[in-house]
Structure 1
């Protein structure tokens, strides 16, 4: 049995560039999922707060990462008050 990349499964399955983007998208999506769970508001109210549709909120709750671009997730996280940021490592 081989040990995968310590950075996560995305780095085992995709090119470094694709994996980095997927990892960022996953982090943002998990943050939005946590925000939804903690807020206790309905999907309709969450959609109004984030300026999107209830269907998109459902996609967030279901973890449908393929339905969201990195830039959209950054905007939604900002609207949720999550203050997304980027850090670079060498």
Structure 2
């Protein structure tokens, strides 16, 4: 049986430009990093908007987190994550699905 090589050869430091570390030219690496940060920011903003809608629905219906979890088909800690806008814990799909369950279908408008 062959042994699998699991040695770590390089660790990218937090905040480092991954594209520069991959060998892209400095100006190109900066452009790619700026573009990826902008896309990540847009995704986070969208997730936060969807979470805000869910949190408002929960508040408007005077639901406890456990009650909301039942309606949303998720666990109570997941509802807490929504209310506290822990965007990194959700996909856009999951949030859209939860909104659909409460009668708030999401419509996408591209501007």
Q: TM-score, normalised by structure 2?
A: 0.63
Larger Rg: 2
How many Å apart are 1:61 and its aligned residue?
Answer: 1.5
Moved over 3 A (4+): none
Give unmatched runs, 5+ long, in structure 2: 1-33
How many Å apart are 1:17 and its aligned residue?
Answer: 2.1
Partner of 1:76: 98
Counterpart selection for 1:35 from 57, 67, 71: 57
How many Å apart are 1:24 and its aligned residue?
Answer: 1.3
How many Å apart are 1:16 and its aligned residue?
Answer: 2.9
Partner of 1:50: 72
Give unmatched runs, 5+ long, in structure 1: 1-11
C-alpha distance after superposition, 1:8-55 (max 9, x if no partner): xxxx9x633222222211110110110111111121111110000011
